[in-house]
Every structure is written in structure tokens, then in C-alpha cells.
Amino acid sequence: MYKKKKDVNLVLTRETSAGRFDPAKFETLPKREILIDSPLGYQLKTILVEPHQTNRYVIICHGVTENKVNSVKYMNIFLERGFNGVIYDHRRHGESGGKTTSYGHYEKLDLKAVVDWLKVDRGPDLVLGIHGESMGAATTLLYAGMIEDGADFYIVDCPFSDFKELLEYQIKKDIKLPPRIVLPLGDFFLRLRDKYSVKEVSPISVIENIQKPILFIHSQDDKYILPSMTEALYERKQGPKKLFLALNGDHAESFNKNREEYERTVDEFLEECGFFKQK
């Protein structure tokens, strides 16, 4: 279950060289840097980026091994559409505390802490969206389906539908060993160390609890988390929803490889939900 984090400078260099992060431009944006207390006993490094006089905010949740720099490209989509942005590091990532990654199980509680802080700070007129990539997408769904449907809309990019099912697929693909042998052993040590089971991390089991609109996004060629997982989530979701299967890119590359189509789909979704009107 352990994955080595990407070096912060590696992420910064990658995003800068690809033109997805402009350090000089980011530096000029009005920002507040804060530490939000997790209910689990550590702090979450959070940056509020607020170029607009508005109570419309989008929180960005990054994927496993990444950090908040990777969230900037998604945040920029919403800044350009009149929203303010909130980026933060998950537990055990970037500048936040915490010793382990739980693929959404504990991260959903941290996301609630960020949402709660923002609602207190901005007051009752807050219009809130949450965008998540990979583990951040699963975290978003677990938060909305298990804790509270606390945002006005959600955008989930390449989530897994069920952690146990994902691990079974990855063990077969990468380790070439029977999951029925490897997975119970790993789950035993996970329960011993982190006090939860992979069976408890299942967005598809709670998706029907989410009433607010969801935009589901996935690359058709994703080999790490199969797009069929997002399709299953989309089918199970009741109420307002939209699905975008990007033609190009592997895991978590839908925006990188299909930027124009990605942004157009976001515009259509926000307009359908009444949160944005295209010019």
C-alpha cells in the first residue's frame, strides 16, 4: 500500500517545464497561507488563492505521491472562470503532517476539515466546488458519500470505484501473483498499522448518497485505474451527472493531453449546474 512520494522539486520542475505552472504568475496572485488542524492530530498546509471579490471557491485535491503544486493547473481553470481556489497537501504529502496515506479513508476527514474551515471563514453565502484527481477524486467521493454532501458540485478525475478491486487488478497486472494470497496479507498489516481495511475504501458503495452534481472524467487509455471504474460510478450515481472520457493520455493525464476538450466539458457542466455562463 506504500508509495514513495514524488520529490517536491521534481513536481515543480515537471509542471513548470510543461507550462502548467508559472512560478512568477503564481507569486503575484493574492494568497493566504494557513495551517488547518486535522481531526487526526496534524496540520494541513493550505493556500487560498483569491484574485476575485467573490464567495465562489473550488477546493482541489491532488493524487497520491503528488502535492499542491500539481493542483495549480486545475485551480487555474476555475480562477479563469471567476472562482477563487483552495489548494492543500494531503496527509504525508508536501508540507502537511501525517505519517501514512490511506487512499481516501482518513483523507476524507481532512477534506471535511478544509471545507469546514472555509465555510466558517467565508460564511453562509459560500458557493463551493471540489475537484479531485485520482486518490483526490476518491477522497472527494468518500467525503461526499460518507460524511456530508457538503459542496455544491464535484469534479472527479480518474477515481477508483473500489480500493480492493483496484488492488486486485494491479496485483494481477504488476506482481503476477494471485491476489487471494497477496491481498489478505497486505490487508492484515494495514489493519494492524493503520486501523482500517481496504474493504472500507469503496466510493461506489456510497455514491448513491451524493445528491449534488458530479462531473466524472477519465482517460480512455488509463492502465493504472481502468476507465470502467469511473463508468461504473457514473452509472450508479443518481441525479445530475456528466461523463467525459478523454481520448488521449494515461492515468491522470486527461487535462494534460486534452486541455481544450477538458475545459469545454467543465464549462458545459458548470453551465448545466447554473454556476457559470459561457460568453
Average pLDDT over residues 192-206: 98
Higher pLDDT, 134 or 125: 134
Residue 169 inside a domain? The answer is no
Residue 186 inside a domain? The answer is no
Residue 195 inside a domain? The answer is no
The total number of structural domains in the chain stands at 1
Residue 188 inside a domain? The answer is no
Residue 96 inside a domain? The answer is yes
SS (H, E, C) the chain: CCCCCCCHHHHHHHHHHCCCCCHHHHHHCCEEEEEEECCCCCEEEEEEECCCCCCEEEEEECCCCCCHHHHHHHHHHHHCCCCEEEEECCCCCCCCCCCCCCCCCCHHHHHHHHHHHHHHHHCCCCEEEEEEECHHHHHHHHHHHHHCCCCCEEEEECCCCCHHHHHHHHHHHHHCCCHHHHHHHHHHHHHHHHCCCHHHCCHHHCHHHCCCCEEEEEECCCCCCCHHHHHHHHHHCCCCEEEEEECCCCCCCHHHHCHHHHHHHHHHHHHHHCCCCCC
Residue 144 inside a domain? The answer is yes
Which CATH number is 92's domain given? 3.40.50.1820
Residue 246, domain extent: 8-162+201-273
pLDDT value at residue 250: 98
Using one digit for the tens of pLDDT, what is the confidence trace for 52-71? Answer: 999 999 999 999 999 999 99
Residue 187 inside a domain? The answer is no
pLDDT, the chain, mean = 97
pTM of the model: 0.97
Given a cut of 80, is residue 173 above it in pLDDT?
yes
Residue 93 inside a domain? The answer is yes
